[in-house]
Amino acid sequence: MFSKKLLPLFFLVFISIFYSFNFANLNNLAIKSEWTGNKKDTSLSIILKTPLKLGKVYLYSSKSDGDFELETISESGIKFKLPINNTSSKDKKMFRWLSISTSSNLKLKQLNLITINPTVQITQIALYDVDGKYLTNYQILDKSGTDLYKKLVESNSSINKASIWLSSEIFDESFYATSAYQYINNIPPLVDVHPQLGILLISKGITAFGMNSFGWRIIPLFAGILIIYLVYVFSIIVFNNKKIAIFATLIISFDFMQFVVSRLALLEVFVTLFLIMQYIFMYLYLCKVKLTNSLTKGWLYFILTAICLGLATSCKWSALFSLPLMLICIIYSVVIVRFKPLWSFIALLTIAIITSLLIYCGSFIPVYKMLGEKNFIHFIWSTHKYIYYFQSIKAAQLTDNYISPWWSWPLDMHPFLIFKENTPDGLYSAIALIGNPLFWWGALIAIVGMIIYAIRKKDLRITYILLIIFAQFIPYAFIKRPGYIYYMYTIAPFIAILLAKSLNTILTTTDSQFIKFSVYLYLVTLILLFIVFYPILSGTPIKYDYITNFLEWYPTWKF
């Protein structure tokens, strides 16, 4: 007989499988060899055995930090150059497919890939005719006349129904995954405007599985799954209610933003993971203080809070938004026990601060050694001067079509399209950073309702969750640099917990079957909405009409 006690376990296993199945074909690029243009004007010639009208040319650029151009020669000898389309929103051309569209009606007999600035490295080539048919009848010759066809071309197209994002760096992966690769190869990392722990964690996946999309995304995926588990754990610890925990886990699992970010090599997933752990341990410390009437008997939870703060800040400075709330929690605990024992607590607080600082500074040691610096304190000071300059001044000058004001993020007004590509077979592939509107809009109502509920009931548990949400969100109102909707990712797990509590409160305080049915219908609809939007969350190629007819609800929703 199935035990209800096992339901949470089965539920969490289901969520893990749900997030993991997308990686079955993640690394669909078979790298057998590579061609390197390490000198200016080094070229690679693609010679078609039968002149024809080309539709698209795909080049997989691996360790390329230079520039190149593609020259085409028609059947009659006319030469012209084709623009290279970078499929990401970033300019880097490393570790991704580059697509070149041939709009000419001329039949082509040859293409020349010419190095402008070295180094250029190509590991795979794919050609399609104007009808989207994968071509195999051609030669690939280097300057010495060696045919590289078998080394650079797959017998079957690796760019088919599976979107090319699967094997390409997209969005900020071009910075973080590339920097992780550089760490492994003892090259100073490209990213020097963030603390380094998140990049180091990404590098562990690359070390284990190689410099491919599986390698740079596997550790973030595990972190994303852990976030879901911790949402369940946090809900149980705070509310001691499995229904609330399951509701919260369900809501965050089917949030669009959670799904997309946890499948990419980004820093947000790590800072969010450590922040949730930090807030869990601080809550446990507060409970211990109240239970024992002592500031020091919960010392282990306090030190663990400090460790998690250090880890979170070592990924991104946005973790520092938690400091005011940590201070409030410390003052609260000191007041309720009437400063007992004060001096022992001061010693504990000192140890905690030193622990956080040591962890944070330690994240810079690998790059410190790599650069051959002699004075660590001077290195830390100069590094942070530059980080502060970039984040406060240089970043404030950035311009982008997807910049949006902080107050608009919970309203889901400005999605961020981080990938788009027209596939050879006439379909459209895209990935958007956007929240599940049923979750985010419902959460706005829940926050207002829970504020009123917490005041009336004097419920400190709800107050704690609300303070977390405000601590992580309100600072963006005072930051001058441009903001993006994906900054909500770090806040979403706590909003999910609050919304789950709100839904459970409705269920337990009403006798109306219709209202109870509506709560469960809301959750089912939230899941169904995830399915409807799944193509633009996963990069699944579809007809563009599906997007315009069903997904672009507002003028600002452009996918």
Asked if pLDDT for residue 497 goes beyond 90, the answer is: yes
**Averaged pLDDT for residues 38-53:** 87
Could you report the per-residue pLDDT of 147-167, keeping only the tens digit for each? 888 888 876 665 554 567 777
482 in Cβ contact with 395 (< 8 Å): yes
**131: number of Cβ within 10 Å:** 10
Task: Give the pLDDT score at 551.
Answer: 92
Give the dihedral sign, CA 191/197/199/204.
positive
Could you report the per-residue pLDDT of 359-393, keeping only the tens digit for each? 999 999 998 888 888 899 999 999 989 988 888 88
- In angstroms, the CA 312 to CA 322 distance is 10
Asked if pLDDT for residue 526 goes beyond 70, the answer is: yes
Asked if pLDDT for residue 79 goes beyond 70, the answer is: yes
Could you report the per-residue pLDDT of 102-149, keeping only the tens digit for each? 766 788 888 888 888 887 888 888 888 888 888 888 898 888 888 888
Task: Give the pLDDT score at 499.
Answer: 97
> Within 13 Å, how many C-alpha atoms sit on residue 250's CB side?
22
Task: Give the pLDDT score at 436.
Answer: 96
Task: Give the pLDDT score at 86.
Answer: 46
Q: Which residue has the higher pLDDT, 209 or 396?
A: 209
Could you report the per-residue pLDDT of 510-520, keeping only the tens digit for each? 889 999 999 99
Task: Give the pLDDT score at 98.
Answer: 82
**Averaged pLDDT for residues 212-234:** 91
**Averaged pLDDT for residues 442-454:** 95
Nearest to 288 by CA among 302, 274, 276: 302
| pLDDT band at residue 319 using 50, 70 and 90 as cut-offs | very high
**Averaged pLDDT for residues 79-101:** 67
Task: Give the pLDDT score at 307.
Answer: 97
Instruction: Name residue, tokens 């946005």.
Output: 318
Q: How far are the Cα atoms of 166, 245, 447, 546, 559 from residue 161, in angstroms, in the given order? A: 11, 37, 42, 16, 19
How do the domains of the chain map onto residue ranges?
35-161, 173-398, 437-551
Could you report the per-residue pLDDT of 461-492, keeping only the tens digit for each? 999 999 999 999 999 999 888 889 999 999 99
Provide DSSP, 302-334: HHHHHHHHHHHHTT-GGGGGGHHHHHHHHHHHH
Task: Give the pLDDT score at 161.
Answer: 47
Asked if pLDDT for residue 449 goes beyond 90, the answer is: yes
Tokens describing residue 424: 């050879």
- In angstroms, the CA 89 to CA 186 distance is 27
117-126, 200-209, 405-414, 477-486: least confident range = 117-126
Task: Give the pLDDT score at 159.
Answer: 59
- In angstroms, the CA 176 to CA 198 distance is 8
**Averaged pLDDT for residues 170-176:** 87
Q: Model-level pTM?
A: 0.88
Q: How far apart are the first and last CA of the chain?
A: 48
- In angstroms, the CA 390 to CA 287 distance is 40
Instruction: Name the percent of the chain lying above pLDDT 90.
Output: 46
Q: What is the dihedral of CA 46, 48, 53, 58, to 10 degrees?
A: -30
| pLDDT band at residue 2 using 50, 70 and 90 as cut-offs | very low
Average pLDDT, the chain: 87
- Which of these CATH numbers, 1.25.40.10, 3.40.50.2000, 2.60.120.260, 2.40.50.140, describes 35-161? 2.60.120.260
